[in-house]
Chain A
């Protein structure tokens, strides 16, 4: 079965600093990869997704992620974090025509002024 690991439970960064959230997956073929963000009191919202093609994908709110097949990773990055980015971030892995979507445990981001 596929699985998703987000090694960092909680990350704190200063406003304006760069951010990288890690995501590693276990799956035999090229999966569909997603990053979702959950702001306090809200549901999950899609930040970006990767299905195929260019391994660097751009998302909303200035986020990007890079798919590295050799490392089974799909890390999320942002060059300059804003206070409004404080939220919980979930990496997810899916397979075509299959219900087996897996979510990571999430990484909570705190932004210091």
Chain B
């Protein structure tokens, strides 16, 4: 089944404790992206990647890092999480970078930073 898999689905952590949210897709998509969803704000893009080793900032990149060493994986790294990063995170992918492409989303990762 074609899908985007995120882990963990739920995580509670404390301020400053580094964490990684993994994202993997099995569709050979070139384009991958991370979003955060907050009430009243919709989805805001954190980082995106057009292909292996090509990443760029989205609208809200502060406090996050990403890497794209393999085509299928696009982990989101929070080096020193803070409470304002408490949110619902989604990874998404599409065949290429194009506003016309439909995004395939993961099921989401709910992160709480205490």
Chain A interface residues (CB < 8 Å from chain B): 4, 6, 9, 31-32, 34, 36, 41-46, 49, 51, 90, 93-101, 103-106
Contacts and interface: CB of A to CB of B under 8 A. Distances in A.
Interface string B78-92: 000000000000101
The interface centre, meaning the residue of B56, B98, B99, B100 with most chain A CB atoms within 10 A of its CB, is: B99
A93 B45 CA distance: 13
A100 B108 contact: no
Contact of B102 (A4, A34, A41, A98): A34
A101 B106 contact: no
B97 A43 contact: no
B60 interface: no
Interface of B: 4, 33, 35, 40-45, 48, 50, 56, 58, 90, 92, 97-103, 105-108
A100 to B, nearest CB: 7
Contact of A46 (B41, B44, B102): B102
B42 A90 contact: yes
Given A90-B43, A98-B99, A101-B103, 5 more contacts: A90-B42, A97-B97, A97-B98, A98-B98, A103-B35
Given A9-B40, A105-B41, A99 B48 contact: yes
A57 to B, nearest CB: 13
Contacts of B98: 94, 96-98
A96 B99 contact: yes
Contacts of B48: 99
Contacts of B42: 4, 6, 90, 103-106
Contacts of B90: 43-44
A35 to B, nearest CB: 11
Given A9-B40, A44-B90, A104-B42, A94 B107 contact: no
A9 B40 CA distance: 8
Given A41-B107, A43-B105, A97 B40 contact: no
Contacts of B92: 43-44
B100 A43 contact: no
A12 B43 CA distance: 22
